[in-house]
Amino acid sequence: MRQLKIGTSWVRGIVGDALTPELVVNFASAFGTWCDGSPVVIARDTRRSAGTLRAATLAGLLSAGCEVIDLGVAPTPVVSFAVREMGVGGGISITGSHNDARWNALKFLGSDGTLLNLVKSEELLDIYHGSKFLLAPWDKLRPVETRSHWLIDRYLQYVLSVLDVDAIRKRQSRVVVDFCNGSCAEITSRFLAELGCTLLPLNEEPSGEFAHPPAPSAANMRQLASLMRCLEADFGAAVNIDGDRIGFVTAHGVALSEEYTLPLTARIRLKRRPGPVVTNFSTSRMVEAVAAGFGQSVIRTSVGESHVIDQGLAEGAVLAGEGSGGVAVLPSAMTFDALLTLGFLLEDLALTGESLASTAADMPQYFMRKRHLPCPPNLVYRVLDRFRAFYADSNPDTTDGIRLSWDDAWLHIRASNTEPILRIIAEAQSLTRADQLMEQAVTFARRAAFGHVEV
């Protein structure tokens, strides 16, 4: 099967297979049309295929008459910032983000610097499918602006302005950061220098040859965790390729699940500025405990950055994030931002004088189990429908797949946005209960998916 996924705010696929330059030109032309030919900011990550996608994106945008401001290799949050700073029509971040090196994608941002929400994505897709793109005549073509490094400087100033720089400087932290050979090494190194921290970089060459799978999960942070004791650092962090997700490792080399990123950030954010928090149905309940400590509520949405941020803006939230390690500090940042998240953790540790290990230990303990099963796209609806019937007594929420919630546990079964798989996530106060929920769901999924049992 040719691997292509068109989701809310992005199109991703395997390069050389379904993700062809023609497809990218068409999407960029459609986006240029959607922006009505106004200027667009672009950036790319370090993948080997980035040059190909950049050229195709430029061709499509230029043909629609857009001026293009090219940031070069830069993280997605910088694109979001530059779009707002320049007051332009939109942005495209060329990055496969947490996907492996075979994949690449275009992430589309609107003029407010957020990833396109559901409605805007549908507008873009309608233009794409209609294939009637804006085509500027020769004398209306605009240039590509590549002298835009000052926007990256401006972004750094902005991130620093949000933080208590003096407090962080006093702490003089030593931090190991695993960049997974992505886009963030240079900017993070400047950021930490400004904060008086010592950076011990890992996999910092922006080679696009990823040292490990890029998602900052505990499993992918094994190399980082194993080095912690020798490096005598305060803590370790792993950022994904385009700097929207981050995970943490303690000084003693315990890799925290990426589920910790949101509640750890909530601790300091809600202390500074109380307000609601938005997260998705698949994220750990830890954040509820932190929010409750500040008398705040947590609102849950469908899975996906654009959903949680869109909902966050609608609810006047001060934080929106997901269990994947992506956190947006609303309303000042409009995308998940690993650098800002790192800054908040540094500030929390500096102000409390605690270690990451003790801070993490304060979190209520939950046990989470995640599994995924291959599921052909044509079976998704049937499988989910059978699940709904199976759990009918437990009052399932069907906003995004099937979600069941009990006092001591929850279970979420949904189709992945990015891959042809079914994701099953269970979280409970005891490991036995989580295992039992997972076991039951997987067994049922297998039988329902392959139609062996009439339900």
Residues taking part in catalysis: 97
Give the residue among 78, 112, 98, 25 at the shortest CA–CA distance from 306. 112
3-state secondary structure 77-90: HHHHHHHHHHCCCE
Q: Using CB under 8 A as the criterion, which residues of the chain lie in contact with other proteins when the complex forms?
A: 14-17, 20-22, 24-26, 29, 47-53, 55-56, 58-60, 62-63, 101-104, 135-141, 143-144
| CB nearer to other proteins: pick between 21 and 196 | 21
The residues pairing with 200 across neighbouring beta strands, listed in sequence order, are 176
| CB nearer to other proteins: pick between 34 and 336 | 34
Name the minimum Å distance from CB 28 to other proteins. Answer: 8
| CB nearer to other proteins: pick between 48 and 252 | 48
Name the minimum Å distance from CB 58 to other proteins. Answer: 4
Helix (H, G, I), strand (E, B) or coil at 357: helix
Name the minimum Å distance from CB 130 to other proteins. Answer: 14
| CB nearer to other proteins: pick between 102 and 388 | 102
Name the minimum Å distance from CB 63 to other proteins. Answer: 5
Give the residue among 244, 245, 293, 249 at the shortest CA–CA distance from 267. 293
| CB nearer to other proteins: pick between 59 and 227 | 59
Tokens of 418: 């990015």
| CB nearer to other proteins: pick between 138 and 392 | 138
Asked if 402 and 414 touch (Cβ cutoff 8 Å), the reply is: yes
Name the minimum Å distance from CB 17 to other proteins. Answer: 7
Which positions ≥6 away from 312 have C-beta within 8 Å? 278, 319, 320, 328, 330
Tokens of 190: 């400047």
Instruction: Starting at the earlier edge strand, list the strands of the sheet with 198-202.
Output: 198-202, 174-178, 235-239, 246-250
Name the minimum Å distance from CB 75 to other proteins. Answer: 19
Q: Containing H/E element for 408?
A: none
| Other Cβ atoms within 10 Å of 451 Cβ, number | 12
Tokens of 134: 């804006």
Asked if 413 and 387 touch (Cβ cutoff 8 Å), the reply is: yes
Alpha-helical regions (H) of 232-337: 261-272, 286-293, 305-315
DSSP class of residue 445 equals H
| CB nearer to other proteins: pick between 208 and 275 | 208
Kindly provide the b/e burial profile for residues 143-165, where b requires at least 16 CB atoms within 10 angstroms of the residue's own CB.
Answer: eeeeebeebbeebbebbeebbbb
Asked if 145 and 69 touch (Cβ cutoff 8 Å), the reply is: yes
Give the residue among 22, 23, 21, 3 at the shortest CA–CA distance from 13. 3
Name the minimum Å distance from CB 66 to other proteins. Answer: 10
Phi and psi based region of residue 442 (left: phi greater than 0; alpha: psi -120 to 50; beta: remaining):
alpha
Tokens of 348: 């929390």
| CB nearer to other proteins: pick between 102 and 174 | 102
Secondary structure (DSSP) of 213-241: -SS--TGGGHHHHHHHHHHT-SEEEEE-T
Name the minimum Å distance from CB 15 to other proteins. Answer: 4
